[in-house]
Amino acid sequence: MKKETQIVSLGRDKKWTKGVINPPVFRASTMLFETMEEMRFATKNRANGEMFYGRRGGPTHFAFQAAIAELEGGVGTALYPSGSAAISGALLSFLKAGDHLLMVDNAYEPTRALCDNLLAGYGIETTYYDPLIGAGIKDLIQENTKVLFLESPGSITMEIQDVPTLSRIAHENDLIVMLDNTWASPINSRPFEMGVDISIQAATKYIVGHSDVMMGTATSNEKYWDQLREHSYLMGYCTSPDDVYLASRGLRTLGVRMAQHEKNALKVANWLATRPEVDHLRHPAFESCPGHEFFERDFSASNGLFSFVLKEGNLKSITALVENMAHFKMGFSWGGYESLILGVFGIDKLRTATTWDSSKPLIRLHIGLENVDDLIADLEAGFERFNAAL
C-alpha cells in the first residue's frame, strides 16, 4: 500500500468503527465485566487491544495507534498528552540515575531544558553533539551511555542528520536510538528502515493539522515496545478520546495538506533566495541547508516549515518586519493550515556543541495553505518595513 492509501485506510477496522467510516469517540474510564472470566481475559490482553481500563485507551485510541504504528513502520504506538510528553515519556522509560544520554545540539528547546533541568536532577547526564557529527559520534559514547537522541532536521536551524550512520554506530554500542521525527511527519521518511528504535511525533503539528489539539506519539520497534508501553502506562500518560478523534481526522488529509504546504513553501523559499536581504535559506530541500545531502537521500518530501538567515538586521528592523503582517501570524508551533512567522533571537545561547553567529538574524516561517502569491506579497511589504527600519 502506498502512503496516500495508508493514510485513508489504516485504523478503520470494523472492530473499532462498528461499520461507520470513522472510529467514534468512545468515552470511558471504566470497563464493566460480567464474569470473572471476562475480567481475566481483558487483563491478560490489556496490552493488545482489549478494553481493560480507560488509561490504557479504548477503541478510538486503538484505531489511531494502529494507524500511526503502521505508517511510521513500527510495531506499537504509545499516546501522550503533548509532543513534549512523548519525548519525556520515551526518555524516562529507558533512562535511570547514572545513565548517560547523547542529545543533538539543535534539539527542540524544551527537550534541551528537560535534559538540563529535570534529567540532570535525576542523575542522568547529557552530552550534546553536533548534528553533523556523523561517524564521529563514536568518540562521545561512554561506558554508561544508554540513549542516542536525534532530531532531524533540528529545530530552528534545520540541520539534517545522517540517521543511518548514527544508528549503526549506536547499535554497535548497544544504545537505544530515539528520533524526534516531527518534521517528516509519519509519511516523509522511514525511520525504522534507517535503524531508529523509537520514533516520536509531536502530533500537535501536522497530524492534527488544525492547531486545535496537543498530542504526542512514540512508536517503537519490537525490541523496545513492551518497556515503552508499560513504563509510559506507569507514569500515567493518557489522552482524551475527543482529542484522539480530532487527530485521527487530521490524519486522513495529511497527504494532500503536506503536498500543498511543500509546494507553497518551495515557491516562497525560491522567491526569498532572490531577495538581496537574505543571506541563505535553512530549508532542507536547498543546498545551503547543512546536511542537505541527507535530506535528498532519506526524505521523500519537504513541507511548510523552514527558516532563513538575513545578511543584517536588529531588533528594530526585525520587529518592523514581523509586526503588521497581513497573513503571517506570530506564534510558536507550526503544522496547522495557517502561516506563521517568528523572529528568533538568542540561538547562540541554545547551542553548546556547535556555535551560531547571532549577528545575522534568523526568521522561521511556517507556510500554510493560503494563496502563495498573497504570502509573497505579505513578505515583500515586510521587507519594505524592514529596510526602512534598518
Based on the shown chain and the rule CB under 6 A, indicate whether residue 82 belongs to the binding site for ligand PLP.
Answer: yes
Scanning 70-78, 80-88, 345-353, 379-387 for contacts with ligand PLP by CB under 6 A, the matching segment is: 80-88
Q: Is 13 a catalytic residue?
A: no
Based on the shown chain and the rule CB under 6 A, indicate whether residue 83 belongs to the binding site for ligand PLP.
Answer: yes
Scanning 79-87, 188-196, 226-234, 277-285 for contacts with ligand PLP by CB under 6 A, the matching segment is: 79-87
Per the CB < 8 A criterion, the answer to whether 244 and 96 are in contact is no
Q: What are phi and psi of 346, to 5 degrees?
A: 75, 25
Picking from 22, 19, 90, the residue whose alpha carbon sits closest to that of residue 251 is 22
Full strand arrangement of the beta sheet holding 340-344: 278-282, 305-310, 362-366, 340-344, 329-330
> Residue 200 and residue 213: Cα distance in Å, rounded?
17
Per the CB < 8 A criterion, the answer to whether 347 and 362 are in contact is yes
Per the CB < 8 A criterion, the answer to whether 218 and 77 are in contact is yes
Q: Is 206 a catalytic residue?
A: no
> Residue 231 and residue 215: Cα distance in Å, rounded?
18
- Rounded to whole angstroms, what are the CA distances from 21 to 3, 18, 57, 119? 19, 9, 20, 43
Per the CB < 8 A criterion, the answer to whether 219 and 76 are in contact is yes
186, 216, 250, 343: which one binds ligand PLP (CB under 6 A) = 216
What cell numbers appear for 168 in the block?
A: 549503526
Q: Is 202 or 322 the residue whose CB approaches ligand PLP more closely?
A: 202
Scanning 128-136, 186-194, 202-210, 231-239 for contacts with ligand PLP by CB under 6 A, the matching segment is: 202-210
> Residue 371 and residue 46: Cα distance in Å, rounded?
48
182, 189, 220, 232: which one binds ligand PLP (CB under 6 A) = 182
The footprint of ligand PLP on residues 289-348 (CB under 6 A) is: 333
Closest contact distance (angstroms) between CB of 138 and ligand PLP is 26
Based on the shown chain and the rule CB under 6 A, indicate whether residue 246 belongs to the binding site for ligand PLP.
Answer: no
84, 189, 220, 303: which one binds ligand PLP (CB under 6 A) = 84
Closest contact distance (angstroms) between CB of 104 and ligand PLP is 11
Closest contact distance (angstroms) between CB of 182 and ligand PLP is 4
Based on the shown chain and the rule CB under 6 A, indicate whether residue 239 belongs to the binding site for ligand PLP.
Answer: no
Q: Is 108 a catalytic residue?
A: yes
Closest contact distance (angstroms) between CB of 312 and ligand PLP is 28
Based on the shown chain and the rule CB under 6 A, indicate whether residue 155 belongs to the binding site for ligand PLP.
Answer: yes
Size of the site for ligand PLP (CB under 6 A): 14
Closest contact distance (angstroms) between CB of 126 and ligand PLP is 16
Classified as helix, coil or strand, 313 is: coil
Based on the shown chain and the rule CB under 6 A, indicate whether residue 202 belongs to the binding site for ligand PLP.
Answer: yes
Contact residues for 67 (Cβ-Cβ < 8 A; gap 6+): 6, 10, 11, 248, 251
Total residues belonging to the chain: 390
Closest contact distance (angstroms) between CB of 199 and ligand PLP is 12
What cell numbers appear for 201 in the block?
A: 511525533
Q: In sequence order, what are the beta bridge partners of 199?
A: 179, 219
Residue 55, classified by CB atoms within 10 Å of its CB into exposed (0-12), middle (13-18) or buried (19+), is exposed
157, 204, 219, 339: which one binds ligand PLP (CB under 6 A) = 204
Q: Is 2 a catalytic residue?
A: no
180, 243, 298, 338: which one binds ligand PLP (CB under 6 A) = 180
Closest contact distance (angstroms) between CB of 239 and ligand PLP is 11
> Residue 367 and residue 370: Cα distance in Å, rounded?
8
214, 218, 244, 325: which one binds ligand PLP (CB under 6 A) = 214
- Sketch the per residue contact string, 100 through 139, with ligand PLP: x for CB under 6 A, - otherwise: --------x-------------------------------
- Residues with a catalytic annotation lie at 55, 108, 180, 205
Which residues lie near ligand PLP (CB under 6 A)?
82-84, 108, 151, 155, 180, 182, 202, 204-205, 214, 216, 333
